[in-house]
Structure 1
Amino acid sequence: MSTIIVSALFTAVWVAITGSASFHNLAFGFLLATLCLWIVRDEIGGRGYWKRFGRILSLCLLFLKELALSAWKVAVMVVSPRMDLKPGIFAFPLTVDRDFEITLLANLITLTPGTLSVDVSADRKTLFVHAIDCSDIEATRRDIAEGFERKIMEAFR
């Protein structure tokens, strides 16, 4: 697709968001869209762009699945008459090493009910996670490593 067409589409989105279709706002939206497309010009049009888009979409779908499953597990724990929980904090060894990837992983863990990212070690090799139930820490570590962490590395490397 031509860059001008994509810039025009982004301009239409800009106008819809700002709520103003004045000439100045249209021109600013078009210039902003063109600048953004120029910044990511190496990614657009190549097969890598669409592959990355699919992998990011896969990460989003995994998050939605994990969100639903975790919400269900926490809801079942809360309404059960006998809560046999072992809350605690465990260390998760990080495979991701970029600041963006670590931040994204920590946020995905925090947004999932029942877990909370507490801290990252100074050397950025360990993430400390609080879990509502630490009865099987190895399974939780494996789920994070084979789920969120693997998908993040696929999408952003």
Structure 2
Amino acid sequence: MIKTRFLSNLLLSFIWLAVTGSFSFVNFVFGFVLSFFLMWLISKDRRENKYFYRGPKLIAFVFFFLYELIKANLQVAYDVITPSFYMKPGIIKIPLTAKSDLEITLLGNLISLTPGTLSLDVSDDRKVLYVHAMYVHDRDEFIADIKNGFERKLLEILR
């Protein structure tokens, strides 16, 4: 059902491009958002359809990840260009709510893509993720940031 809604949304976006005659990325994005809104408007089962629920969550997650990425880059760059070091490295044991291979893999990769953090290993029972971090000033706060940030938002999209 999600695939057919997405393909319908893409088809309507391309129809929008053909009708307007402007084949630009901005016009495509506008057509995609417009067709998403129109499909949502005429849909009878808005609350039950995961496509209308996951679309905005996915866009919000992309902006959340970009924010975290920029924040981590600035933190590492500031530490590199200043004479004193603010690093307090550590290996953190993060309990996982994610259960499937896809969920754990995506979470580990998102953590590793953020500068200053690296996913090291997953326990054999797949209940714990070990993460090396450059800036661990408070272990509980670090764990809460991962659990309430990356993991919660990722699971909202995948489940």
**TM, length-normalised to structure 2:** 0.69
> Letter of the aligned partner of 1:150 in structure 2?
R
> Letter of the aligned partner of 1:51 in structure 2?
Y
Q: Deviations over 1:78-120 (max 9, x none)?
A: 1121114221211111111111111111000000010000111
Q: Which residue of 1 aligns with 2:40?
A: none
Q: How far apart in 2 are the matches of 1:152 and 1:62? A: 11
How do residues 68-147 of structure 1 correspond to structure 2 at under 5 angstroms?
68-147=70-149
CA separation of 1:8/1:55 partners in 2, compared to 1, >3 Å: closer, same or farther?
closer
Structure 2 residue 53 is matched with structure 1 residue 60: no
Q: How far apart in 1 are the matches of 2:146 and 2:84? A: 27
CA separation of 1:86/1:49 partners in 2, compared to 1, >3 Å: closer, same or farther?
same
Residue 137 of structure 1: how far off its partner (Å): 1.6
Q: Which residue of 1 aligns with 2:53?
A: 51
Q: How far apart in 1 are the matches of 2:76 and 2:100? A: 31
Give the aligned length.
121
Higher RCO, 1 or 2 (CA under 8 Å, sep at least 6)?
A: 1
Q: Which residue of 2 aligns with 1:22?
A: none
How do residues 140-155 of structure 1 correspond to structure 2 at under 5 angstroms?
140-155=142-157
Higher-Rg structure is 1
Q: How far apart in 1 are the matches of 2:9 and 2:60? A: 26
**TM, length-normalised to structure 1:** 0.69
Moved more, 93-102 or 83-92: 83-92
Q: How far apart in 1 are the matches of 2:76 and 2:9? A: 44
Residue 47 of structure 1: how far off its partner (Å): 3.0
Residue 50 of structure 1: how far off its partner (Å): 1.7
Residue 8 of structure 1: how far off its partner (Å): 8.6
Report runs of 4+ in structure 1 exceeding 3 Å deviation. 5-10
Q: Deviations over 1:38-91 (max 9, x none)?
A: xxxxxxxx7321211111222111111100111111111111211142212111
> Letter of the aligned partner of 1:67 in structure 2?
L
Residue 151 of structure 1: how far off its partner (Å): 0.3
CA separation of 1:147/1:7 partners in 2, compared to 1, >3 Å: closer, same or farther?
closer
Q: Which runs of 5+ in 2 are unaligned?
A: 15-47
> Letter of the aligned partner of 2:76 in structure 1?
V
Q: How far apart in 2 are the matches of 1:65 and 1:85? A: 21
Q: Which residue of 2 aligns with 1:40?
A: none
Q: Which runs of 5+ in 1 are unaligned?
A: 13-45
